[in-house]
Amino acid sequence: MTKLCVNIDHIATLRQARMTVEPDPLLGAQEAILGGADGITLHIREDRRHMQVSDLFQLKDTIQVPLNLELAATTQMLTIAIEATPDMVMVVPEGRDEITTEGGLDVLGDMQRLTEFVEALVAENLRVSAFIDADYAQIEAARSCGFTVCEIHTGPYAQAYIHNESSLRHPMVLAERTKVQNAVSKVIEMDMQCNAGHGLTHGNVSGIASIPHISELHIGHSIVSRSIFTGMRESVSEMKLNIQKARQ
d(CA 180, CA 175): 9
Q: Which of 89, 18, 15, 88 is nearest to 54 (CA)?
A: 15
- Its pTM stands at 0.95
Span 106-139, pLDDT tens digits: 999 999 999 999 999 999 999 999 999 999 999 9
Span 135-191, pLDDT tens digits: 999 999 999 999 999 999 999 999 999 999 999 999 999 999 999 999 999 999 999
Span 51-93, pLDDT tens digits: 999 999 999 999 999 999 999 999 999 999 999 999 999 999 9
Q: What total of structural domains would you count in the chain?
A: 1
Q: Which position among 31, 198, 218, 238 bears the catalytic label?
A: 198
Is residue 43 a contact partner of residue 72, using CB atoms and an 8 Å limit?
A: no
Q: Would residue 198 show up in a list of annotated catalytic residues for this protein? A: yes
pLDDT at 196: 98
Higher pLDDT, residue 240 or 102: 240
Per DSSP, 98 falls in state -
Is residue 183 a contact partner of residue 136, using CB atoms and an 8 Å limit?
A: yes
pLDDT at 94: 83
DSSP for 34-86 reads HTT-SEEEEE--TT-SS--HHHHHHHHHH-SS-EEEEE-S-HHHHHHHHHH--
Query: b or e along 121-155 (b: 16 or more beta carbons within 10 Å of the residue's beta carbon)?
Result: beeeebbbbbbbbbbeebbebbbebbbbbbbbbbb
Query: For the residues 3-30, what does the mean pLDDT come to?
Result: 97
Q: Which position among 10, 43, 50, 153 bears the catalytic label?
A: 43
Q: Which whole-number Å values give the CA distances from 99 to 88, 118, 157, in the listed order?
A: 24, 26, 18
Quickly state the pLDDT bin for 99 (edges 50, 70, 90): low
Please check the confidence at residue 101 and state whether its pLDDT lies above 70. no
Q: What is the CATH number of the domain that holds 58?
A: 3.20.20.70
Q: Which position among 70, 94, 216, 238 bears the catalytic label?
A: 70
Which residues span the domain enclosing 243? 3-247
d(CA 1, CA 214): 9
pLDDT at 85: 98
Q: Would residue 98 show up in a list of annotated catalytic residues for this protein? A: no
- Mean residue pLDDT across the chain: 96
Please check the confidence at residue 210 and state whether its pLDDT lies above 80. yes
Residue 129's SS3 state is strand
Q: Would residue 70 show up in a list of annotated catalytic residues for this protein? A: yes
Quickly state the pLDDT bin for 96 (edges 50, 70, 90): low
Quickly state the pLDDT bin for 1 (edges 50, 70, 90): confident
Please check the confidence at residue 45 and state whether its pLDDT lies above 70. yes
pLDDT at 103: 84
